[in-house]
Amino acid sequence: MPAQPQPNKDEWRLIGLMQQPCPYCKGIEIAHRLRRCTYIGQNTGIEVDGHRTCRCELYKRYWTNWEQAIDARYRDVRFATLAPSDDPEIRASLATQARIIDFVKAHPDDSHLLYGDSRCGKSHISAALHDYHLRRWAMASYRDSNRSRSPVLRANVTRLLAQHHAWTTSRADENANTPRPDIDIARIRAVIEQGDKPVLILDELDKLGGQPTPFRIETLLSLIDAVNNERGAVIATSNHAPEWFPATWGKELGEPIVLRIMGGAAAHKVRFVADRTSQ
């Protein structure tokens, strides 16, 4: 019987998003997608029919998380192929891009505060790090079906803290139907309990405004602390330098944010500079 053609990259994406049936397990939905296979004894040579988790489960775990978490502009970004770009929209020079990429690739498991001028690649780098951690988890969870929750937790800071405020307020109203925040302590604990280190990615850290409330700061700090306590990673983007936070929010509110992000086992401040010479 001739070998069945292997799905290409685009087909695996569609299979992972369940927009196209898997040619192996035929898209059967059970607790873990299985495919029939034959095991051959290494010593005896005896053939035994059995089942194994279908490869489409690996792609399902990656693609469903990736498509939900990443803005459409960055869905083609990959950590493995990260390289300087001569796109005129990027204001950082090729040399600056190369320096940052080399540094981040050398420290992919650490925490990073990515800050500096706009349109210099901060979101691009954070998406690449998201891809790095998500692929590692997808492969690990494919081998261990108990690790079903993605440990890569990404959110826009303003939106996330608005969710926490609405959730906290609604708890006093028994008739309220407010959904839980996308990221909270319970979700971080669930990731830890399955044996993974959480990765918290915070987009636009500085967009909270001129004077965020103590509630929002304390909520954000509690999430960061929960990740750091388990030696996880915190990745945050900001158009402003670390000094901006205490200068704008006041030392009591602004200083702890930077200190906590930099308080993990290994953390780095990565500055992005618009130094591209105009053509």
Of 16, 51, 69, which residue sits at a domain end? 69
User: What pLDDT does 24 receive?
Assistant: 80
User: What pLDDT does 117 receive?
Assistant: 97
Question: Do 178 and 45 fall into the same domain?
Answer: no
Question: Do 78 and 61 fall into the same domain?
Answer: no
pLDDT along the chain (279 residues), means of 10: 73 92 71 50 59 80 95 96 94 97 98 97 97 96 86 96 91 77 96 96 88 92 96 97 94 93 91 85
Can you state the angle between helices 122-143 and 94-106, rounded to 10 degrees?
A: 30
Task: Domain count for the chain, please give it.
Answer: 2
User: What pLDDT does 3 receive?
Assistant: 57
Distance CA 130, CA 78 (A): 9
Question: Do 48 and 133 fall into the same domain?
Answer: no
User: What pLDDT does 53 receive?
Assistant: 76
278 within domain boundaries: no
50 within domain boundaries: yes
Count Cα atoms within 13 angstroms, Cβ side, for 104: 31
User: What pLDDT does 39 receive?
Assistant: 44
User: What pLDDT does 82 receive?
Assistant: 97
Of 18, 47, 69, which residue sits at a domain end? 69
Q: State whether the Cα torsion 127-129-135-138 is positive or negative.
A: negative
Give me the domain span that covers residue 100: 72-272
User: What pLDDT does 121 receive?
Assistant: 96
Say which CATH number the domain at 96 has.
3.40.50.300
Distance CA 45, CA 255 (A): 66
279 within domain boundaries: no
Distance CA 66, CA 137 (A): 12
User: What pLDDT does 31 receive?
Assistant: 45
The DSSP symbol for 109 reads: T
